[in-house]
């Protein structure tokens, strides 16, 4: 507000000031047009605070590993919070966390990692039921509490990302909401030049049919397809518009060139979803902070040999119990993922050792703690304490609460 002293020396205020014909200063910010003034873009919302609703959009965190091939490449396999899935393929895809090359625009904007899907040799061609696609999802409460008035067509969220394909063509994707009556919002990347990074931006309005429960369930899904056959596409699907979800018409018919090219690659980074009608510069977070956010969904506890796991006890002579208190509350009660094999885990007690060769069975699991039991290969004294340690380079224990 602008203060003006009247003849009595009393200040009065008004809500905005016009400077010439082109600049208005008001409580909501500065509007300027046609006069060469550049101001910070606050995107119609708060200046401070978090903007990006996507976790690990810069693809920095890869707790599961940096490469996956064969059947292990189908699903969550490398970069956290993003997965690639396939159907009907003649050869498995590969997943990789790759480096962004020096001299490219994403590199100059601070991106060093990307999520890559590499195609196999699809010798039988592009079938109607075939697909390869990338996926990430948000909890309902992430959207419900974001500040987006998703029921209003005059309120917007903006999706932006960098993408690169080794094959020049257009690709399709869609957003799907899963609370209430499912809705879909198809979009395309536009024609990409081969091996060239392109920034894609989509401004998405609200819609009265949308619904997001204020809970931890998956409710907002982002799908980007490298290929999808005609079982899931239709020529008359409208882009950039909300419609009732149709599993047989999710998006327009796909070009099959990438899919039928052996070793074709598709890379993505800088994925940002923010409230407002414009794409602002990417919200870079530190690696440590991004890692903590990822651990809500997947928590790698130990990996490799000679790693301390926890303290436990022998509940019976052969049943040994273990457990950990998690430093990050997970989205839901997690499942245990444990690599197993001969002598993968050592149990030390009374200056002697036993081995765990089989699986770990969870019990009394909570979002903040996990307890488990397993069978030791050598009987010990019930009630004695023990120490769990990994004993093989392939040993791994992780906790999974993914959407």
Which of these ranges, 27-31, 88-92, 232-236, 397-401, has the smallest mean pLDDT? Answer: 27-31
String of DSSP letters for 293-311: HHTTTEEEEEESSS-EEEE
What's the mean pLDDT in 18-46?
A: 54
Confidence of residue 33 (pLDDT cuts 50, 70, 90): low
Q: Which pLDDT score is estimated for 12?
A: 46
| Residue that has been written with the tokens 């196999």 in this structure | 120
What burial letters (b/e) apply to 124-155, b meaning 16+ CB within 10 Å? eebbeebbbbbbbbbbbebbbebebebeeeeb
CA distances from 273 to 50, 114, 279 (A): 11, 17, 9
Above 80 in pLDDT, residue 2? Answer: no
Nearest to 312 by CA among 337, 346, 347: 347
Q: What is the CA 13 to chain-centroid distance, rounded?
A: 47
Above 60 in pLDDT, residue 39? Answer: no
Contact yes or no for 280/41 (Cβ under 8 A): yes
Quick one: what percent of the chain has pLDDT higher than 90?
88
Confidence of residue 19 (pLDDT cuts 50, 70, 90): low
pTM: 0.89
For the beta carbon of residue 233, count every other beta carbon within 10 angstroms.
21
pLDDT tens digits for 99-142? 999 999 999 999 999 999 999 999 999 999 999 999 999 999 99
| Separation CA 369–CA 256 (nearest Å) | 46
Quick one: what percent of the chain has pLDDT higher than 70?
88
Q: Which pLDDT score is estimated for 8?
A: 47
User: In this structure, what are the phi and psi dihedrals at residue 99, rounded to the nearest 5 degrees?
Assistant: -85, 145
Confidence of residue 30 (pLDDT cuts 50, 70, 90): low
pLDDT tens digits for 228-275? 999 999 999 999 999 999 999 999 999 999 999 999 999 999 999 999
Q: Which pLDDT score is estimated for 4?
A: 44
Q: Which pLDDT score is estimated for 11?
A: 45
What's the mean pLDDT in 303-312?
A: 98
pLDDT tens digits for 191-218? 999 999 999 999 999 999 999 999 999 9
- Higher model confidence: residue 48 or residue 365? 365
Confidence of residue 330 (pLDDT cuts 50, 70, 90): very high
User: Can you read off the two tokens belonging to residue 96?
Assistant: 């990789």
What's the mean pLDDT in 44-62?
A: 84
What's the mean pLDDT in 296-302?
A: 98
């Amino acid at each position: 507000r602008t203060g003006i002293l009247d003849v009595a020396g009393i200040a009065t205020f008004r809500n905005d000031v016009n400077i010439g014909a082109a600049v208005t200063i008001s409580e909501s910010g500065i509007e300027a047009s046609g006069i060469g003034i550049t101001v910070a873009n606050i995107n119609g919302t708060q200046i401070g605070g978090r903007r990006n609703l996507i976790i690990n959009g810069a693809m920095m965190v890869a707790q599961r590993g940096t490469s996956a091939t064969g059947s292990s490449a189908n699903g969550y396999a490398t970069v956290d919070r993003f997965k690639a899935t396939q159907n009907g393929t003649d050869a498995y895809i590969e997943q990789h966390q790759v480096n962004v090359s020096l001299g490219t625009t994403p590199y100059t904007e601070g991106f060093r990692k990307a999520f890559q899907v590499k195609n196999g040799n699809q010798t039988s061609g592009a079938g109607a039921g075939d697909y390869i696609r990338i996926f990430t999802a948000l909890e309902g409460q992430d959207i419900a509490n974001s500040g987006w008035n998703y029921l209003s067509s005059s309120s917007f969220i903006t999706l932006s990302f960098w993408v690169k394909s080794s094959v020049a063509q257009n690709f399709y994707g869609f957003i799907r909401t899963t609370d209430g009556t499912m809705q879909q919002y198809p979009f395309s990347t536009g024609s990409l030049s081969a091996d060239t990074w392109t920034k894609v931006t989509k401004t998405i309005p609200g819609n009265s049919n949308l619904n997001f429960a204020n809970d931890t369930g998956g409710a907002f899904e982002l799908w980007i397809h490298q290929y999808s056959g005609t079982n899931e596409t239709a020529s008359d699907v409208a882009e950039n518009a909300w419609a009732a979800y149709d599993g047989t018409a999710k998006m327009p018919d796909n070009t099959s060139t990438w899919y039928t090219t052996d070793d074709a690659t598709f890379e993505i980074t800088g994925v940002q979803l923010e409230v407002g009608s414009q794409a602002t510069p990417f919200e870079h977070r530190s690696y440590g902070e991004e890692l903590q956010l990822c651990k809500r969904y997947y928590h790698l506890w130990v990996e490799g040999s000679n790693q301390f796991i926890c303290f436990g006890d022998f509940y019976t002579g052969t049943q040994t119990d273990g457990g950990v208190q998690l430093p990050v509350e997970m989205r839901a009660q997690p499942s245990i993922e444990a690599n197993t094999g001969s002598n993968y885990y050592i149990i030390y007690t009374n200056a002697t050792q036993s081995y765990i060769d089989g699986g770990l069975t969870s019990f009394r699991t909570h979002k903040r703690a996990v307890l488990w039991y397993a069978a030791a290969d050598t009987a010990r004294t019930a009630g004695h304490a023990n120490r769990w340690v990994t004993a093989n380079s392939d040993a791994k224990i992780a906790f999974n609460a993914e959407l």
